[in-house]
Amino acid sequence: MAKEIKFSLVYRDMWQSSGKYVPRVDQLVSVAPAIVDMGCFDRVETNGGAFEQVNLLFGENPNKAVRAWTAPLRKAGIQTHMLERGLNALRMNPVPLDVRELMFSVKKKQGVDIARSFCGLNDHRNLKGSVIGAKKAGMISQVALSITHSPVHTVAYYMGVVDRVVEYGADEICLKDMAGIGRPSVLGELVSDIKKKYPHLKVQYHGHTGPGFSTASMLEVARAGADYLDVAVEPLSWGKVHPDVITIREMLKADGFQVKDLNMDAYMEVRRLTQSFIDDFLGYWINPTNREMTSLLVGCGLPGGMMGSMMADLRGFQGAINAAQRAHGRPEMSLDTLMVKLFQEVEYVWPRLGYPPLVTPFSQYVKNTALMNLLNMLSDKPRWSSIDKDTWGMILGHMGTLPGPLAPEIVALAKEKGLEFTTCNPQDNYPDELPKFRAMMKEEGWDCGEDDEELFELAMHERQYRDYRSGVAKERFNKELADLKAKAGAPVVIERPVVETPKFSAEEYAAKYPHAVPVQAPAKGQLLWEIDVDGPSKAPRTGTAVEAGEPLGYIQTFYGMEPILPAVTGRIVAVTGRQGDKVAKGEIVAYVEP
């Protein structure tokens, strides 16, 4: 009898890879019956990753969303699964072990069957707590290997990770091909080796379509013994997202695999509802370029979802770079030229930083370092002049063991700065915190909620949870949505505001201070050199000494405060933003001369 391949609809990740938000709970509940009626899905990815935070940013309760969204799927016999980031759990920074354990207990009781856990460094130590926590809570523990393509990311390397997580009790393995650059033949070999050594393990493949390999990879892993494939549906499938279930199903059927029937009427209803969610409000935050695939991602290996923020970064630096080009008698560069140069610099930087898989947050660290290298070199300064604090944390081992060796010049630079490397277990740096958060709940007069789910939200996302409870989050979201809807009929673009009385343009500043490094707003919002927005302007004076990675000011966004972090240590030579100004992400607010 032909082997059956089962499908998982990654409905959460479809949205997360397309834009800023996911559908509201009422929308998710409305589409669930049509997903069930399609008849071809054994699993649906319902939550995890940024899902909880997005609901808090809406001003809604994520716990109610998870319970309501998973219920109709589980009633129909469809397994639900979540994504979590190992040491970082559901956020971008490390989480104490007791909070991680509570997460699995809460999510299981809310109706989530499978915990998909990944570590961006594939460090098995960061995954041990996830496997044990998920199993203890009664969940299926699925460990995701962060797939990339490099000389060190061999089949033997990945099998070494598999061996350790199997020791911890993992039930399944996922190949998380987040940038879609895994080579099909290598992935097939990896699945084959997993199945030969651990025939009891289920294997699932997750691949984004950005650079174009993932469809071929799906066929290869299926032939090698994979059990589940992650797929998407229109209008969000393909592009930087995931292959569509129709194509993958027909491909496998033609290859002799057994696949479930697909109800096309239900597919069209899911398609219609998904488009209606885009038309309602989610489309305001979806970049049109997410519909495109590009082979340019093959060489640099960056996830397609990073393209929007990366291009915003390049636009922010373009004026300063071209001013330096003119000052040295060199031709100006187009945005496309800068993009290719940045891709090439990522290819240079990545191996020298130890080949961290390019997945959040390590993809951002590599990209940021490459961007600063590009700026410095075009200003006739050496590479590695500007490495931020978080990247140093990765380099020094605070987040886990890098897959490959660091370049000698990086090791020498660390020693020159007096920095120390560590091989300690990253989790040991983050002691338990639940008693502290229980005390906070009591002090605020808040109930810990059913199954301690409200306590969990505070402990996992304190800032966003407080904004949700106060009503500030809903107010911010409604205002932002109203502003965008007011511009309906035109392409949704976050326009860069013009400072009312600029002394110089960005190009003139760059010409005046050719060695200065621009300090950019990390997000759209209100510029606060001091937290008191209503007070007099307290912008830092020129000549003020600043430290790389230390907050110079803040941006008040709709979801909270984002620190403005200069990339270099030096002195301020110009301040271009005033207290209270509305700024766009990437807008230059000051210049620092190293």
pLDDT at 507: 67
What is the pairing mode between strands 202-207 and 553-557?
unpaired
276 and 377 belong to one structural domain? no
45 and 95 belong to one structural domain? yes
> Cβ contacts of residue 411 below 8 Å, gap of 6+?
none
209 and 309 belong to one structural domain? no
How many structural domains is the chain composed of?
3
What sign has the CA pseudo-torsion 99, 102, 108, 114?
A: positive
Task: Give counts: helices (H), strands (E), the chain.
Answer: 22, 16
Instruction: Judge whether 512 and 532 are in contact, CB under 8 Å.
Output: no
The span from the CA of 30 to the CA of 46, in Å, is: 14
Which domain does 205 fall in, by range? Answer: 6-51+79-286
CA distances from residue 243 to 114, 216, 275, 315 in whole angstroms, order as listed: 22, 11, 17, 30
pLDDT at 208: 94
Name the one residue in this structure whose structure tokens are 């319970």.
67
Q: Is residue 74 a part of any domain in this protein? A: no
> Cβ contacts of residue 264 below 8 Å, gap of 6+?
none
E strand spans, 211-350: 228-231
E strand spans, 228-366: 228-231
Q: Which two three-digit tokens encode residue 18?
A: 């397309």
Phi, psi of 231 (to 5 degrees): -135, 170
- Which of 286, 307, 333 lies at the terminal end of a domain, its last residue? 286
The span from the CA of 393 to the CA of 413, in Å, is: 14
- Which of 235, 257, 286 lies at the terminal end of a domain, its last residue? 286
Q: Is residue 248 a part of any domain in this protein? A: yes
Q: Is residue 442 a part of any domain in this protein? A: no
pTM across the whole model: 0.81
Phi, psi of 283 (to 5 degrees): -65, -20
pLDDT at 503: 52
**What angle do the packed helices 434-444 and 97-110 form, to 10 degrees?**
70
26 and 157 belong to one structural domain? yes
CATH code of the domain covering residue 568: 2.40.50.100
pLDDT at 420: 95
304 and 261 belong to one structural domain? no
230 and 308 belong to one structural domain? no
Give the bridge partners for 505, in sequence order: none
Q: What is the pLDDT along the chain (594 residues), one digit of tens a residue?
A: 799 999 999 999 999 888 889 999 999 999 999 999 999 999 999 999 889 999 999 999 999 999 999 999 999 999 999 999 999 999 988 999 999 999 999 999 999 999 999 999 999 999 999 999 999 999 999 999 999 999 999 999 999 999 999 999 999 999 999 999 999 999 999 999 999 999 999 999 999 999 999 999 999 999 999 999 999 999 999 998 999 999 999 999 999 999 999 999 999 999 999 999 999 999 988 877 778 888 888 887 877 666 656 766 777 778 778 887 888 888 988 888 888 888 899 999 999 999 999 887 888 889 889 988 988 888 788 999 889 888 999 999 999 999 999 999 999 999 999 999 999 999 999 999 999 999 999 999 999 999 999 999 999 999 999 999 999 999 999 998 888 888 755 333 323 233 333 456 666 776 777 788 888 888 888 888 875 444 444 678 888 888 887 888 888 765 556 788 888 888 898 888 888 788 887 788 888 988
236 and 336 belong to one structural domain? no
Instruction: Judge whether 589 and 526 are in contact, CB under 8 Å.
Output: no
Instruction: Judge whether 218 and 187 are in contact, CB under 8 Å.
Output: no
Residue 233 burial by Cβ neighbours in a 10 Å radius (0-12, 13-18, 19+): buried
27 and 99 belong to one structural domain? yes
User: Of 100, 137, 47, 63, nearest to 446 (Cα)?
Assistant: 63
- Which of 251, 267, 286 lies at the terminal end of a domain, its last residue? 286
306 and 395 belong to one structural domain? yes
Instruction: Judge whether 19 and 56 are in contact, CB under 8 Å.
Output: no
Q: Is residue 234 a part of any domain in this protein? A: yes
- Per-residue model confidence as pLDDT tens digits over 13-29: 999 888 889 999 999 99
112 and 200 belong to one structural domain? yes
422 and 537 belong to one structural domain? no
- Per-residue model confidence as pLDDT tens digits over 312-334: 677 777 877 888 788 888 898 88
pLDDT at 559: 55
pLDDT at 574: 87
181 and 303 belong to one structural domain? no
Name the one residue in this structure whose structure tokens are 């030229």.
337
